[in-house]
Amino acid sequence: MGDDNSYDIRTILTQMREEYWQALAEEESEAKEMLECLVFTLGGKRYAFETHYACEVIRVPKLVRVPAVQSLIRGIFNLRGEITAAIDIRPMLGVPQPEIGATGRILVVRAENFATGILVEAAHGVQGLCFDCFEPVAAGSGVKAQFIRGHFNLEEGSVILLDMEALLAAPELVAGDA
């Protein structure tokens, strides 16, 4: 089980190729300064977060209500054998809560310890959002801004960027006593 220091042409070639592609990718993102985001609707407004938080987007399955837990946990569902919670984060953002209808989706995201499903009114797919039109949230703009990083001013309207780091670490997402 000693260290393998032998000369392996394939490993080196793979490495070179990876470096090449990485350099290309960096060039591209630097040129446009785009943030790749998943865009969706909450409370009638458009929101977004970086794609790397998302695992998948699914239609809303049957949700089984969980007794004696906070109301933002709307239920659980079966995600390929894993019991997963569906959460309604709209109260946390202080936005209106229209009924989630046929366009409703669940965005499955990974928090540090668990995967959870965020209920949204509609999902609009992945978009590259330009940093040039980004406006960070103004300091002291209230409690409801704690999960918001800012917004993008786009031609078709504004898109609010969520602070997923803060949102997924929020204690109100977790049910039960420690």
Note whether 34 binds other proteins by CB under 8 A: no
Q: Where are the alpha helices (DSSP H) in 33-174?
A: 90-93, 164-168
- Considering only residues 19, 26, 82, 135, which one is a binding residue for other proteins as defined by CB under 8 A? 82
Question: CB–CB of 120/177 below 8 Å?
Answer: no
Among 57, 69, 137, 145, binds other proteins (CB under 8 A): 69
For residue 91, how many C-alpha atoms fall within 13 Å in the half-sphere facing its CB? Answer: 10
Cβ proximity to other proteins, 67 vs 140, nearer residue = 67
Give 156 or 177: the residue with its C-beta nearer to other proteins: 177
Site membership for other proteins, residue 177 (CB under 8 A) = yes
Rounded CA separation 104/61 (Å): 10
Beta carbon of residue 74, minimum distance to other proteins (angstroms, whole number): 12
Name which position in 35, 37, 72, 76 contacts other proteins (CB under 8 A). 76
Residue 81 lies near other proteins (rule: CB under 8 A): yes
Among 85, 106, 119, 161, interactor with other proteins by CB under 8 A: 85
Nearest to 93 by CA among 49, 143, 133: 143
Instruction: Look up tokens 């420690």; give the residue.
Output: 178
Max Cα separation, the chain?
63
Per the structure block, which two tokens stand in for 172?
A: 């109100």
> Rule CB under 8 A: which residues touch other proteins?
61-62, 64-69, 73, 76-78, 81-85, 111, 113-116, 173-178
